[in-house]
Amino acid sequence: MSQLERTIKDLIIFYVKENYNKYLKENKIKTIQKDELKKVISDLYDSNKDHLKQFLKDSLKELLKDEYPGDLIINNICYDIFEDDALCKNRIYIEIKVHQENNNM
């Protein structure tokens, strides 16, 4: 995995966890119930997918400055990442499930 791919992965995880925490705060809950988790993730993913892509571009421009590879390359990477929505949602589900389990111990 290249440094750029690692940075994108880290940014996505950061974005997901921030939106997860925002959801908890807005709904005044400590965790999302297991039976609701997949639906909540699906809804959040569908409503934030475009914003996440823009967040990635903006963050990479700021982090990489002159070494930013350009929107075309970033758009192609995003296309590859977001090509399979079911896979993305499942990956987010796993991350959040582990995150909730680790924070409830």
Contact predicate 55/11, CB 8 Å: yes
Mean pLDDT of 9-24: 91
> Across the chain, what does the average pLDDT equal?
91
Predicted confidence band of residue 81 (pLDDT cuts 50, 70, 90): confident
Predicted confidence band of residue 105 (pLDDT cuts 50, 70, 90): low
pLDDT at residue 90 in the model: 92
What is the C-alpha to C-alpha distance for residues 35 and 79, in angstroms, rounded to an integer?
Answer: 30
Mean pLDDT of 9-25: 91
pLDDT at residue 71 in the model: 93
Percent helix, strand, coil in the chain, to 5, is 85, 0, 15
Contact predicate 33/102, CB 8 Å: no
Instruction: Kindly give, in sequence order, each residue whose CB lies less than 8 Å from that of residue 3, ignoring residues fewer than 6 positions away.
Output: none
pLDDT at residue 82 in the model: 87
pLDDT digits (tens, 9 = 90+) for 52-80: 999 999 999 999 999 999 999 999 998 98
The sign of the CA dihedral 82, 101, 10, 26 is positive
